[in-house]
């Protein structure tokens, strides 16, 4: 049985995600022009849609990957399992933006980098283990933090931190 390596939660609102994706767009616009976007599914789909709008890019493709397993006890995707490519794309990625929501351990990043070595890899969030594998990112978070994206959450009561982590 795997041990949960995430001791901190970092909830991200839709507004914050949109603001950070726009900040990523500003950085990437200065480096363009770009031929298109390749979103890494599923996490890269929403950021890719925002970037496509902000950068006026119409060519969008996907690399479909699974790498997280669901924790049977909590129902949360926490355990990194075997990487499985469900759909790739042709070419080496030249002139393309490769977009994901975050780079965590770098397991997925290493594999898609090999698939598209000439693409510019950008994420909104980066953790220390995966950070060297991306070309551009907006926010760094600690390795022991689980980022809770808005598409994975619903509004509910949240206990104060002191109650969740008694001393």
Dist CA 64 CA 74 (whole Å): 25
How is residue 57 written in tokens? 């890019």
| Residue position matching structure tokens 């990043």 | 109
Which residues neighbour 21 within 8 Å (Cβ) at sequence distance 6 or greater?
Answer: 46, 47, 50, 51, 54, 124
Dist CA 3 CA 14 (whole Å): 30
Strand 77-87 versus strand 60-70 pairing type? antiparallel
Neighbours of 49 (CB within 10 A): 15
- Which residues belong to the active site? 100-101, 104
Structural Rg of the chain based on CA atoms? 16
């Amino acid at each position: 049985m795997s041990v949960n390596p995430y001791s901190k939660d970092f909830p991200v609102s839709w507004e914050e995600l949109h603001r950070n994706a726009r900040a990523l767009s500003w950085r990437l616009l200065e480096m363009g022009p770009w031929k298109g976007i390749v979103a890494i599914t599923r996490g890269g789909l929403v950021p890719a849609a925002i970037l496509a709008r902000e950068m006026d890019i119409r060519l969008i493709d996907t690399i479909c990957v699974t790498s997280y397993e669901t924790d049977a006890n909590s129902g949360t995707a926490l355990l990194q399992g075997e990487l499985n490519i469900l759909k790739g794309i042709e070419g080496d990625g030249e002139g393309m933006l490769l977009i994901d929501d975050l780079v965590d351990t770098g397991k997925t990043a290493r594999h898609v980098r090999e698939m598209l070595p000439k693409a510019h890899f950008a994420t909104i969030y980066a953790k220390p283990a995966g950070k060297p594998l991306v070309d551009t990112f907006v926010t760094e978070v600690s390795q022991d933090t689980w980022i809770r994206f808005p598409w994975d959450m619903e509004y509910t009561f949240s206990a104060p931190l002191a109650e969740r982590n008694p001393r």
